[in-house]
Amino acid sequence: MTATYYVQNVLSQMKSAINEQRPKISSSRTLHLHDNAGPHKARATIQSLRELGIQVLPHPAYSPDLAPCDFWLFPILKDRLAGGKFDRIQDLAKAVNSELWTIREEDYRGVFRKWQIKLKCCIESHGEYF
């Protein structure tokens, strides 16, 4: 994913979803977690987030254990899609999207409870490894 794709496709949809799901809460009161991936740190992304009024929760460097996609979601997707052959990027995107919809809401909620525990440990250790 590039910063251009992220800004044009993901952030605009995220802003719309926030406005739709929480019409009484402005997006400036919503914290968005970004890890330290290139598209998230790119100048275009940072500028777009400012323009959209979306605040970013800082993510400690070198801490993939604090990114739910890294410690939970990507391993699930890798396991489920292992051995698959995709001739076109669109086929891969369709397969990933299909798998995402099979994950139960309770599983998503559970991972965010675990994520809160991990964040608390990080805060208590003053950002050191634990």
pLDDT tens digits along 34-69: 878 888 889 999 999 888 888 887 777 777 678 788
Beta strands per DSSP E along 38-81: 55-57
Q: What is the reported pLDDT for 87?
A: 94
Task: Among 59, 80, 104, identify where a domain stops.
Answer: 59
Q: What is the reported pLDDT for 51?
A: 87
Whole-model pTM over 0.85 = no
Given a contact cutoff of 8 angstroms between Cβ atoms, the answer to whether 94 and 67 are in contact is no
Given a contact cutoff of 8 angstroms between Cβ atoms, the answer to whether 35 and 64 are in contact is yes
- Name the phi and psi angles at 89, rounded to 5: -60, -30
Range of the structural domain that residue 86 is part of:
61-130
Q: What is the mean pLDDT of residues 70-77?
A: 89
Percentages helix, strand, coil for the chain (3-state, rounded to 5) are 65, 5, 30
User: What's the structural domain count of the chain?
Assistant: 2
Q: What is the mean pLDDT of residues 5-16?
A: 87
Q: Are residues 6 and 23 in the same domain?
A: yes
Q: What is the mean pLDDT of residues 23-28?
A: 69
Given a contact cutoff of 8 angstroms between Cβ atoms, the answer to whether 62 and 70 are in contact is no
Q: Are residues 22 and 73 in the same domain?
A: no
Q: What is the mean pLDDT of residues 13-27?
A: 79
Q: Are residues 27 and 76 in the same domain?
A: no
Q: Are residues 47 and 67 in the same domain?
A: no
Take residue 72 and report the two structure tokens written for it: 């939970």
Classify residue 24 by its DSSP letter.
T
Sorting pLDDT into bands at 50, 70 and 90, what band is 9?
confident
Q: Are residues 70 and 14 in the same domain?
A: no
Task: Among 35, 59, 83, identify where a domain stops.
Answer: 59
